[in-house]
Structure 1
Amino acid sequence: MADKDSELRVVRQSRDGRRRYDEQGKRTLVEAGLQPGVSVARMAQEHGINANLLRKWIT
């Protein structure tokens, strides 16, 4: 997950601090999170997002 294509980019940030992420970055993280033996919490931490948010994207 170290290459530039897997980078999670913020597309927009609202006044209250909520961020919108690009669809391709989200899709890449979800696909990686579905692999056996991958820690969803660790992946979320490495990309600077909350683990619950990544779990929500996966579902």
Structure 2
Amino acid sequence: MAEKNSELKVVRQSRDGRRQYDEKGKRALIEAALCSGVSVARLAQEHGVNANLLRKWITKYLLEREKN
């Protein structure tokens, strides 16, 4: 399963509660989610992120990777 050594850190939080995460942590979480047999929902829950947000990050990452 995915390793928990990738710490997802909040860089900034706005007044309305939105959080901005560090890019390094996001990338590690995305790459862990792309491993075979990993549940995106469980991985998101373990790191305190909404599963839909993680799926959005994954989609954006894959689209950017296709461009290059």
Partner Cα distance (1:18, 1:45) in 2: 17
Structure 1 gaps, min length 5: none
RMSD: 0.6
Q: Tell me the secondary structure at the aligned position of residue 12 of structure 2.
A: strand
Task: Trace 1:19-58 onto structure 2 (pairs within 5 A).
Answer: 19-58=19-58
Query: Is 1:7 paired with 2:2?
Result: no
Partner Cα distance (2:11, 2:39) in 1: 25
If the length of structure 2 is used for normalisation, what is the TM-score? 0.81
Shift of 1:2: 2.4
> Which structure is larger by alpha-carbon Rg, 1 or 2?
2
Identity within the alignment, %: 77
Partner Cα distance (1:2, 1:20) in 2: 20
If the length of structure 1 is used for normalisation, what is the TM-score? 0.93
Structure 2 gaps, min length 5: 60-68
* Number of equivalenced pairs: 57
- Post-superposition, which runs of at least 4 consecutive aligned residues in structure 1 deviate over 4 A? none
